[in-house]
A and B are shown apart, each in its own frame.
Chain A
Amino acid sequence: DAGITQSPRHKVTETGTPVTLRCHQTENHRYMYWYRQDPGHGLRLIHYSYGVKDTDKGEVSDGYSVSRSKTEDFLLTLESATSSQTSVYFCAIGTGPGTEAFFGQGTRLTVV
């Protein structure tokens, strides 16, 4: 168990409102990732982090921002939620160069 917790697990929000999803790890792993999962698209990388305050964009970063002020927390923010951002969001960590990604439980976000 890599000790990853996502919060909230479920959220319904209105179009145009800001939303922040939190990913918390209990170990000091350097690499953290945010993915979204949509039918027919698999998991697509939104943003990732390779250290405190070191973040970069993934393939579907438009409309999202991230912050990592502490090793253990990686926040994903939707500045102004849109219906196209309705999805399941996963946080993951990478524990070493040759290891698999460990995932959080996922957050189902619905934008109405």
Chain B
Amino acid sequence: AQTVTQSQPEMSVQEAETVTLSCTYDTSESDYYLFWYKQPPSRQMILVIRQEAYKQQNATENRFSVNFQKAAKSFSLKISDSQLGDAAMYFCAYRIPSGTYKYIFGTGTRLKVLA
């Protein structure tokens, strides 16, 4: 069964510094999609970044980038130049690429940004 693991329940980062959130997953599929979501205190689920497994290039969205290591089944999120508004819960997710197309989520990492 597919699983997603986020081993860091909580992380802290100084404003303007860089932080990396870890995510590992388990799958026997070769083509799939991975996502990072941000959940601020408003409870809204916001897509941060998407990675397609068949693409070698790591996805980047402004200050957010991923380190996608397919062989290691690792999908970490790097936030550069951290801002107070980055404080939130971050969830890693995997989408089953066929059949049910279910989304499997990790347990989340709470990121605190220190001024």
Contact = CB atoms under 8 A, between A and B. Distances in A.
Interface of A: 31, 33, 35, 40-45, 48, 50, 56, 58, 88, 90, 92, 94, 97-101, 103, 105-106
B107 A48 contact: no
B45 A97 contact: no
Contacts of B100: 48, 50, 56
Contacts of B107: 40-42
A86 B104 CA distance: 21
A50 B9 CA distance: 32
Most chain B beta carbons < 10 A, residue from A50, A56, A88, A103:
A103
Given A50-B100, A56-B100, A98-B52, A42 B105 contact: yes
Which interface class (under 10, 10 to 19, 20 to 34, 35 or more) fits B?
20 to 34
Overall SS of chain A's interface: strand
Contact of B102 (A33, A40, A41, A99): A33
Contacts of A105: 43-44
16 contacts: A33-B103, A42-B106, A43-B105, A45-B104, A50-B101, A56-B100, A58-B102, A94-B101, A97-B97, A97-B101, A98-B52, A100-B95, A101-B35, A105-B43, A105-B44, A106-B43
A19 B47 CA distance: 30
A103 B37 CA distance: 11
A56 B100 CA distance: 9
Contacts of B102: 33, 45, 48, 58
Nearest to B36: A100
A73 B93 CA distance: 24
A43 B97 CA distance: 19
B38 to A, nearest CB: 12
B33 A98 contact: yes
A34 to B, nearest CB: 12
A100 B35 contact: yes
A94 B103 contact: yes
Given A42-B91, A97-B97, A101-B93, 12 more contacts: A35-B105, A41-B107, A48-B102, A58-B102, A88-B43, A92-B45, A94-B95, A98-B33, A100-B35, A100-B37, A100-B50, A105-B43
